[in-house]
Structure 1
Amino acid sequence: MNNISIDFSEIKTFNDFYTQLKIKIAIPNYFGNNLDALYDFFSGEASLPLDIKFNNMSTEQIDTFQSLIETMKALSTEVPEISFHYY
């Protein structure tokens, strides 16, 4: 199983998130930094099975990144080989 752990203690913006994600996993150059591209990549191109963890999320970040969290929850529901957790 592939594991991706994203440390949100250093993330303030979506661009920060995508930068850290690209360090953690090989994403194609054509990847567009948006939630649709993220969903498409993980549901069709990522090597599975995959365990994704968002660590050190503050309450404010949970609010700020709610759309990202919802996208990841949808992925883990629709693609059984993907598990997602956030803390």
Structure 2
Amino acid sequence: MPDLTFDLRQLTTRAAFYQQFAEQSGCPESFGYNLDALWDWLTGGMALPATVRLQHVAAQQADLAPVLALLEEAAQSLAGELRLIMD
């Protein structure tokens, strides 16, 4: 089961998040580094069940708000297959 951890104090842009996400989750080289690609990988490509742990959520920048919303929606949509932990 993949266990991905992201420190949002250090990942202050979407580009930085996508890069870390691709490295940790084993995305293919064709990963699009955007919200659509993130959704597609979470809901149809990534090995599940998985845990995504977001550390220091209170420190996140506004640029990451759409990513966090997408992760929350994916976790709800996948009915327990994607566990989202926000510290």
- Do the structures match in fold with TM over 0.5? yes
Partner AA of 2:34 in structure 1: N
Q: Give the gaps of 5 or more residues in structure 1.
A: none
Are residue 74 (structure 1) and residue 36 (structure 2) matched? no
Number of residues of Structure 1 aligned to a counterpart in Structure 2 = 86
Shift of 1:17: 0.7
Partner AA of 2:48 in structure 1: L
Matching residue of 2:15: 15
Q: CA RMSD in A?
A: 1.5
- 1:25-83 per-residue CA deviation (whole Å, 9 max, x = no partner) reads 21011110111110000100110101101112334x25332111110111011112011
Q: TM (normalized to structure 1)? A: 0.87
Tell me the SS of whatever aligns to 1:10. Answer: coil
- 1:4-40 per-residue CA deviation (whole Å, 9 max, x = no partner) reads 1111221121111111112212101111011111000
Q: TM (normalized to structure 2)? A: 0.87
Matching residue of 1:41: 41
Q: Give the gaps of 5 or more residues in structure 2.
A: none
- What is the aligned-residue identity percentage? 23
